[in-house]
Amino acid sequence: MPETSGSKPSVLFVCVHNAGRSQMAAAWLTHLAGDRVEVRSAGSAPADQVNSAVVEAMREVGIDISAETPKVLTADAVKESDVCITMGCGDVCPVFPGKRYLDWKLDDPAGQGVEAVRPIRDRIKTLVDDLIAEITPEKPESTA
């Protein structure tokens, strides 16, 4: 019997254009959590393509997001997610009972070069690491 989507936590990352912050967050979560978490990203006004400086910054850490495309935020995407994370951009997700909503205050990489994107990328990795520790059941019993 295949595993149902309800058996693992699902996370939706949202920013306006779904071309920078939310793409990096989704890529980090997919890379670090593997199949333990279902990952989505979307934007309220999606761009035509992912920010090239963001693609380059992620490539520097061995993660290729060049094939990703910005997606439009839908009520269904929110409804199907356990945790909805906005990226400090004022976007508002449709509110459904039982969902957890977080807002990560992050600089917008739009129009920035790769040098400016690197610290945003690294901050997102830290936030994603903390999120994984919080939402995945596989925690080590002891820290030795």
The residues annotated with a catalytic role in the active site are: 15, 89, 93
**Phi and psi torsions of 7, nearest 5°:** -85, -5
* CA 6 – CA 18 distance, rounded (Å): 25
* CA 133 – CA 143 distance, rounded (Å): 13
**How far lies 33's CA from each of 30, 54, 102, 131, in Å?**
6, 20, 19, 10
* CA 14 – CA 86 distance, rounded (Å): 5
Burial 72-87 (b: 16+ CB within 10 A, else e): ebeeebbebbbbbbbb
